Amino acid sequence: MALVTLKEVLETAERTNTAIPGFNIDNIEIPEAIMEAAEAENCPVILTIGQGAIQAGGLRHLPDVVRRLAESSTVPVVMHLDHGVSYEQTIACLRAGFTSVMYDGSHHPFAENVRESTAVVRAAHAVGVSVECELGAISGVEDGISHSGANLVDLDEVRRFIEVVDCDALAVGIGNAHGIYKGTPNLDFDRLAACRRLGTPPLVLHGGSGIPADMIQRAISLGIRKINVATEVRLAFLEGLEASVGCRDIYAVYGAAKSRVTELARTKIRMFQNKG
């Protein structure tokens, strides 16, 4: 099947009151392992290329890998740019065949975020590509889970942003953080519910690694339709490699790492699809 847009899979999520997983991919084996999980669970999937992967390999190989995996897939696949850093980078991704781009202007002053996000939406929509924007910068694990941090989205900014920026998905900071949480995450569900009441597009939860199942269910019930997972995917792959130390069969080594990723991805998919 051909690649689909983020907008399309989020419509499915909205209809079924579920969330679609956005898994970061860093090599060829990880997306292969994720596709095995997505097909086994019969769930659409967002294969996400982030800044680390772009710094390591540019846009030379991974977009081709994703496109080919999608072509032979039995489930819808989105090729998505994570935390896009500039208008120029999103344009490069449009050229590389992405079907969804995130422009993350959350670290910029509000007016600049609005201006850049508007420009990205205009360019991406002109070629049928979806756009995710962000409000309320999602911090790293160091200062991520404190509610006194700067990553709580401002409701007035949400209201003003969606009035002028026609994005297809909106990532919001509600106490979530990238990396592994120190202790239980402290998510502001009231704020999430208030965002949704403002009539936002489908909401996105970043920092999905390590958020307990009950919190995931609650977030989905309040309008989260896409959940990003990166750290746990990388750790699963690395743990698979570490478990094979001493093995001299490269296929067995990669096979072990891929199995860990498939297992992790199946667990997350089931959680996000409310399958227990």
Tokens of 148: 């006194």
DSSP 3-state of 204: strand
Per CB under 6 A, the list member of 44, 202, 207, 240 interacting with ligand G3H is: 207
Residues 43-62 that bind Zn ion (CB under 5 A): none
CA-CA-CA-CA torsion sign (130, 152, 12, 49)? positive
Alpha-carbon span 256 to 138, nearest angstrom? 32
Tokens of 241: 């490699």
Residues touching ligand G3H: how many (CB under 6 A)? 14
Residue 260 contact partner, candidates Zn ion, ligand G3H, none, CB within 5 to 8 A by sort of partner = none
104 carries an active-site annotation:
no
CA-CA-CA-CA torsion sign (104, 32, 77, 236)? negative
According to the binding rule CB under 5 A, does residue 226 interact with Zn ion?
no
Q: Are 207 and 237 in contact (CB under 8 A)?
A: no
- Smallest gap, in angstroms, from Cβ of residue 109 to ligand G3H? 22
According to the binding rule CB under 6 A, does residue 229 interact with ligand G3H?
yes
Convert 40-55 to b/e letters by CB count within 10 Å (16 or more is b).
ebebbbbbbbbeebbe
Given 26, 64, 82, 168, which residue is catalytic?
82
Report the residue number whose CB is nearest to Zn ion.
206
Residues 45-74 that bind ligand G3H (CB under 6 A): none
- Smallest gap, in angstroms, from Cβ of residue 202 to ligand G3H? 16
Alpha-carbon span 161 to 164, nearest angstrom? 6
According to the binding rule CB under 5 A, does residue 206 interact with Zn ion?
yes
Of how many residues is the chain composed?
276
According to the binding rule CB under 6 A, does residue 33 interact with ligand G3H?
no
Residue 208 contact partner, candidates Zn ion, ligand G3H, none, CB within 5 to 8 A by sort of partner = ligand G3H
Active site residues: 82
Tell me which residues touch Zn ion (CB under 5 A): 206
Tell me which residues touch ligand G3H (CB under 6 A): 24, 82-83, 178-179, 206-209, 228-232
